[in-house]
Structure 1
Amino acid sequence: MNYKEIYKSKIRTLQGALELIKSNDFIFTAQAASEPITLLHNLHIIREKGIRGCDLTNCFPVENYEFIKNPLYKDTICVNGWFYTAPLRKSHCNGNVSLVPQHAHSALKKRIFASERRRLVLLCTCSPMDKHGFLTLSLSSVYERELIDMGALVIAEVNSNFPRTFGDTTVHISEISALVETNYAVPSIPPASYTEVDKKIGEYIADLVENGSTLQLGIGKTPNAVANELKNKKYLGIHTEMFTDSMADLIECGAIDNSMKSLYKGKSIGCFAFGSERLYKFIDDNPSFIFKPASWANSPYVIGQNSKMVSINTSLEVDLTGQCASESIGAMQYSCTGGQADTAIGAQMSKGGKSIIALHSTIEITDNDGNKKLISKISPLLKEGTVISLSRNDVDYVVTEYGVAWLRGRSVKERVERLINIAHPSFRDELRYDAKEHMIW
C-alpha cells in the first residue's frame, strides 16, 4: 500500500480508537497543547466496557476531563501527574490524582520502571501527514517520541490546525495504530501582562545576563517582564524546556539569534511549546526550532555544555538559608519541580553560567477571618509539609524587586543578611529577630 492507503486504513471512529485500550494498560498522554483533547474528553467511557486498573501519566494538562474530576472513574483510570495545573489541583482532594515527584530529565526512565512491564499506550496529537508518510508530534517531544521507540501502542488525533515541527517529533504513519481526525483550535494562552514589581525584577535579572548568553526561561508574568528587559541584548540563544511567546518576541527584535551557542548553533532548542496562536504560527514549519526529549534537553550535563547558560525560574517561597519551595504551599501540592532543578544545576555547570530564582518579596493572602494580609515570601522557616524544589546547596542568585542576593558559596550567616536585604522593608526587622531566635546563622 502507498502512504495514503496506510493512513486511510488506520482511521477509526472515536469509540473504535478507544476500544484498543485494555485493562491494566500503562497510558501516557502528550503534554500541554499537544494533549489529544477529543480522546481525553471521552476516555472515561472505557469503563462501560469493563476496563479497570489503567494508570495514566500526564504532564501540564490544559483541560479538566471527566476521568480526572469524577471519583467514579478512579478504579478505571488512576491519574499520575508530572506537573499539576488547576484541573489536577482541584481533583487531588477527591483522590483521583497523585503526583509523580521527578526531575524532567530522568522522569520517563523511572516511570517506565514503575510500569512493571505492562503494555505502554501513548495518546497524542499529530500534524497532518506529508507526502513521505511522516506526521509530527507537533508541540511536544517531552517523552512522546521515546515512548514510540519503546514500542508503545500509539493512538493519535490528527488535526490540521497543529503546526509541523522539527527535531524528535517526526512519526511515520506505520508507527501509529489508530488515528482519529479532529479539527479544533490548538489550546492556547495569551501572554501574561506583568506589574511594576515584575518589571523591576526583570531589570535586575537583565543586568545579570551578558550578551552571548544561552537562556532557559519559563512562562508567566515575571519571565515575560524579564524577556522585555532583554530586548537590547545581543547574540542570545535558547536552550529551554518550554518555548513561549516571549522567546518569539526576542527572536523578532534580534536579541536572540543563537549565533554564539555551544550546542546547535543557529537553532532554538526546547521540549514543548505552549502559548498564543501567534507563537504556533511562528514555530510552524520553522527549522530553526528544534524539539528534543526532556531526557536530553533537560539533562544538567547537556545544559552545562552551553557557554554562559542562564537559567531563570520562579519560586513560591525562599527561606533564609536559600531553600526554594517552588511547588507546594505547605503540604498542598500546587505545581511540581518540573525542570527547575535540572536547569538550575545545569546552568551552574556551564562556563560563565548563572542560575536565577525570581520571586515577589510579598504576597497578599486572605486569613481565616476573611481579612487581607500581606506576608513575606522570604521566610525564616518554611511551613510544615513544604516541598523543597531546589536545595539550598544548588541555589545561586535570588532576585526580588528589592535587589539581587548572590548565595552560591556563601555561609548561612551571609545568606541570611543578603536575603533580608532583598526582602520587603516592612519585614526585615522581624526576619532578623526570627533568624536570631532560631539560631539561623
Structure 2
Amino acid sequence: MDWKATYQDKIVSAAEAVKCVKSGDTVVLQQAAGTAMHLMDALTDRASELKDVKVIAHNIWETPRFLEPQYAGIFRHVSQFLDRGTRQAYREGRVDPLPAFYYQMPKYYREHPADVFFVMLTEPDEEGNCSYALNADYSVANMEAAKTVVAQINPSLPWTYGAKVSLDKLDYIVIQDQPLPELTKSETGGVEEQIAAHIVPFIQDGACLQLGIGGLPNAILNFLKDKKHLGIHSEVLSDGIIDLYESGAIDNSCKTLDKGKIVSNFLIGTKRLFDFADHNPDLLVVPVDYTNDPYVIAQNDNVISINSCLQVDLLGQVNADTIGGRQYSGCGGQIDFVRGAQMSKGGKSFITLPSTAKKGAVSRIIPHMETGTPVTTSRFDVQYICTEYGVVNLAGKTVSQRAEALIGIAHPDFREELRRQAVEEGLIW
C-alpha cells in the first residue's frame, strides 16, 4: 500500500486518539522541547473519566496542566529528572522521582512496556519515514515496546538524522503544529569563567567533548575558539556548540567512533539550534543507550566529560541532585560520562561547582554529607573536582590527601573551619 494512503488512514483528532488511554494505564511522554503537549492536554481534558494514570516523562520545562493540583489522584507523574516545570508539583506530592541511570532507561521501558506512548515526530519524508527530531533518547525503545503509539506530527520540528520511524509503527496520527519552547543561552559570570579557565588547559586539540547546558559549558566553549579538530559525543546539545562548528574548531575528524559526526540523544536550545540541526548531515540524534553507555563513550579517545554538582564532601562524594535530602533534579547522565570518560584512552572527567552558595554564606565543599543526602557520584568514581579556586585530581589519592586537596579549592573563608572539622573527624591529622 502507498504510504500516503496509510498516513491518511491513521489521522484522527487528538480527542479521538487519547481515548485509547484507560484508568490505570502508563503513558510515556518525550522530554524537553520535544514533549507532545498537545496530546497530553487532550488527555487532561478527559480527566473526569480517568483515575490513577501514571505519566512518565523526563525533564519537562513548563508546568503542564496534568500536574495542576486538581488532577491529583487522576495523574501520577514519574520522572528521572526534575526541572523547573515539575519541582513545585514534587514539593506538593504529585511527582514521584525515579532513581535510574539515564542510559539504562531504554532497557527499563523494554522490560516495563508503556500502555501508550505519546511521541512528537516530523512530517514523513519521501519514503514515508518520520524523524524523531529533537528526542531519540528513550523514544526509540518506547516506539518498539509500547502497546499503543500516538504520534503528533509537528511541522515545526527539524529533521535530524540518526533515528527514524516508519508509519506502520504508529497506531494513531494527530497533525498539530506546536511551537517549540526555547531555552535561551545562559549568560556566563565571573565564577563560571574562572572555573572554565582551570579546565580549558586539559582540553587539547582533537579532544572529544561532553558538556551539559548552562553558563559553565558556555564559558568553556567560549575559551575553545583557537582549538582544532574537536569532537562532540554528548547526551544533550545546546546552542553553545554552533559557533565552534561554524568556525571549524569542531569537525569531529579525530573521533575514533562516529568520525565526522556530532552525536547526541536530545537537543535543548533556541530556534538557532533547531535550524542548525535541520537536515544537518554532520549531526546524529540517536538513543541514550548508545550515547550514554560508558562502554560506547570509551570507544572515543581523549573524552573530556564536564558536569556540575551541588556539593562535594571531603571524601570526594558528589551530590548533584538533591537539596536537604529532597530531590532537586536527577543524576541525568553524569555517572555515565564520569565512567565512560575515564575508560577512554586519554580521557578525563570533571565535576564542577562554585565554591559557595547563598551569596557566599554556605560552602559547597563540606566535611561530610548530611544524613539523608544521597550520593550521586561515588568517591570511587570521581576524578577531577573544580571550583573557581582550582582543580584537583582525586583519583589515586588517599582519604587525607583528598581532604587536603579539596580544602585547597574551597572558598578561603571556609578553609580553616573545614580543616578543623576534617581533623575532628579523623580525615587528616
Q: Give the TM-score category using the shorter length.
A: over 0.9
Counterpart contact for 2:80–2:100, Cα < 8 Å: yes
TM-score relative to the length of structure 2: 0.96
* Cross-structure match for 2:58: 59
How do 1:8-407 residues align onto structure 2 when only pairs under 5 Å count?
8-49=8-49, 51-70=50-69, 72-113=70-111, 115=112, 120-168=115-163, 170-364=164-358, 374-407=361-394
Deviation at residue 112 of structure 1 after TM alignment: 4.6
Identity %: 36
| Secondary structure at the counterpart of residue 105 of structure 1 | helix
Deviation at residue 299 of structure 1 after TM alignment: 0.6
Structure 2: which amino acid aligns with 1:296?
Y
Deviation at residue 7 of structure 1 after TM alignment: 1.5
Structure 2: which amino acid aligns with 1:129?
P
Unaligned runs of 5+ in 1: 366-372
> Is 15-24 or 424-433 further displaced after alignment?
15-24
Deviations 1:183-202 (A, max 9, x none): 23211111000101111111
Q: For the aligned residues, what is the CA RMSD?
A: 1.5
Counterpart contact for 1:330–1:384, Cα < 8 Å: no
Counterpart contact for 1:69–1:87, Cα < 8 Å: no
1:416 aligns with 2:403: yes
CA distance in 2 between counterparts of 1:67 and 1:112 reads: 25
**Which residue, out of 400, 416, 422, partners 1:429?**
416
Deviation at residue 151 of structure 1 after TM alignment: 4.6
Deviations 1:145-204 (A, max 9, x none): 121122541111111111001112x11122111122222321111100010111111111
Deviation at residue 429 of structure 1 after TM alignment: 0.7
Deviation at residue 287 of structure 1 after TM alignment: 1.5
Counterpart contact for 1:44–1:67, Cα < 8 Å: yes
| Secondary structure at the counterpart of residue 45 of structure 2 | helix
CA distance in 2 between counterparts of 1:303 and 1:122 reads: 28
> Is 54-63 or 404-413 further displaced after alignment?
54-63
TM-score relative to the length of structure 1: 0.94
Counterpart contact for 1:323–1:392, Cα < 8 Å: yes
Counterpart contact for 1:402–1:424, Cα < 8 Å: yes
Deviation at residue 111 of structure 1 after TM alignment: 4.9
Counterpart contact for 2:160–2:285, Cα < 8 Å: yes
| Secondary structure at the counterpart of residue 393 of structure 1 | coil
* Cross-structure match for 1:7: 7
CA distance in 2 between counterparts of 1:383 and 1:238 reads: 36
Counterpart contact for 1:30–1:36, Cα < 8 Å: yes
For these two proteins, the number of residue pairs brought into alignment is 428
Structure 2: which amino acid aligns with 1:4?
K
CA distance in 1 between counterparts of 2:386 and 2:299 reads: 25
Deviation at residue 234 of structure 1 after TM alignment: 1.1
> Is 301-310 or 104-113 further displaced after alignment?
104-113
